[in-house]
Amino acid sequence: MPDPILHLSNLDVRYGRTQALSGIGLSLYEGEAVGLLGTNGAGKTTLLNAVSGFLRPSGGTLELFGEPIHQCPPHQIVRRGLLQLSQERDLFGDLTVLDNLRLGSLARAPKTFDRNLERVFHYFPRLKERVAQRASTMSGGEQQMLAIGRALMAEPRIMLFDEPSAGLSPLFVQEIGAMMRALRNDGDVSILLVEQNMLLAAQVIDRFYMLRAGTVVAEGPVSELEQDHEELARRYYL
């Protein structure tokens, strides 16, 4: 087996005296998509924020491409090729689609802007039709597409998705899911996906980790999610 490109071992995170994550172990290999599943409050977003450098672990190890990053600030982790897409999307609402995409390329890939722009338009033709539209006037689904597209402009090697389906219509959920599947199949980007929608997750990921109360309670291949989803929810979420 090759070495994982992202590896967590016995990771702990605290909010003051509260233990938010305890003994988390997780690996992500190049070219695969891994799901982080669980109910609200299970610790999924906390884990992403620890990986991205927004939270400082209180114990354990956190390695990116074989190097420790638990002391690195977020901007250094981004420059190493790991980007997180938060639920807030963090777009510049007064700027156009094109300007938001241009900002995405500045940190890591300013010289390949044109090539990456065509790549984004390949995944999201809708954005090409709206290059001059201000981000704040777009629908929620279109803004999610723009947030993903802006991240792709930085040529990430790992993308962390935090509930990309939240608040979206079924049509946009299908489009976002299709894009993540294509991204995984192209093999250029590895994915860590936080998602409560098991049906969507099962269409995208290769493996999963199930979190409950800040610990990993189960893990396995995506085939285990092809069972009755209501039964899975009762088993893992209740």
What's the structural domain count of the chain? 2
- Report how far residue 232's alpha carbon sits from residue 237's, in angstroms, rounded to the nearest whole number: 8
The pLDDT assigned to 230 comes to 66
Structure tokens at 33: 């998509």
Query: Do 131 and 175 share a domain, yes or no?
Result: no
Query: Do 171 and 139 share a domain, yes or no?
Result: no
- Report how far residue 135's alpha carbon sits from residue 96's, in angstroms, rounded to the nearest whole number: 6
Residues 142-165, mean pLDDT to the nearest whole number: 93
The pLDDT assigned to 48 comes to 96
Backbone angles phi, psi at 218, to 5 degrees: -165, 155
N-term to C-term CA, the chain: 35
Residue reference for tokens 């993308």? 159
Residues 133-148, mean pLDDT to the nearest whole number: 92
Query: Do 26 and 10 share a domain, yes or no?
Result: yes
Single pTM value for the model: 0.90
Query: Do 41 and 138 share a domain, yes or no?
Result: no
Query: Do 97 and 76 share a domain, yes or no?
Result: no
Examine the fold and report which residue of 113, 136, 155 is the final residue of a domain before the chain moves on.
155
Query: Do 124 and 138 share a domain, yes or no?
Result: yes
Examine the fold and report which residue of 155, 170, 185 is the final residue of a domain before the chain moves on.
155
Query: Do 173 and 75 share a domain, yes or no?
Result: yes
- What lies within 8 Å, CB to CB, of 102 at 6+ separation is 113, 153
Residues 82-96, mean pLDDT to the nearest whole number: 89
Buried b (16+ CB within 10 A) or exposed e, 110-146: eeeeeebbebbbebbebbeebeeebbeebeebbbbbb
Query: Do 235 and 199 share a domain, yes or no?
Result: yes
Examine the fold and report which residue of 155, 182, 209 is the final residue of a domain before the chain moves on.
155
Structure tokens at 162: 């935090």
Domain extent for 218: 1-81+157-238
Query: Do 131 and 100 share a domain, yes or no?
Result: yes
Query: Do 44 and 120 share a domain, yes or no?
Result: no
Query: Do 4 and 53 share a domain, yes or no?
Result: yes
| CATH assignment at residue 35 | 3.40.50.300
pLDDT tens track for 184-229: 888 889 999 998 888 888 889 999 999 999 999 999 999 988 766 6
Using DSSP's 3-state secondary structure scheme, residue 231 falls into: helix
Query: Do 149 and 185 share a domain, yes or no?
Result: no
Burial of 212 (0-12, 13-18, 19+ CB in 10 A): middle
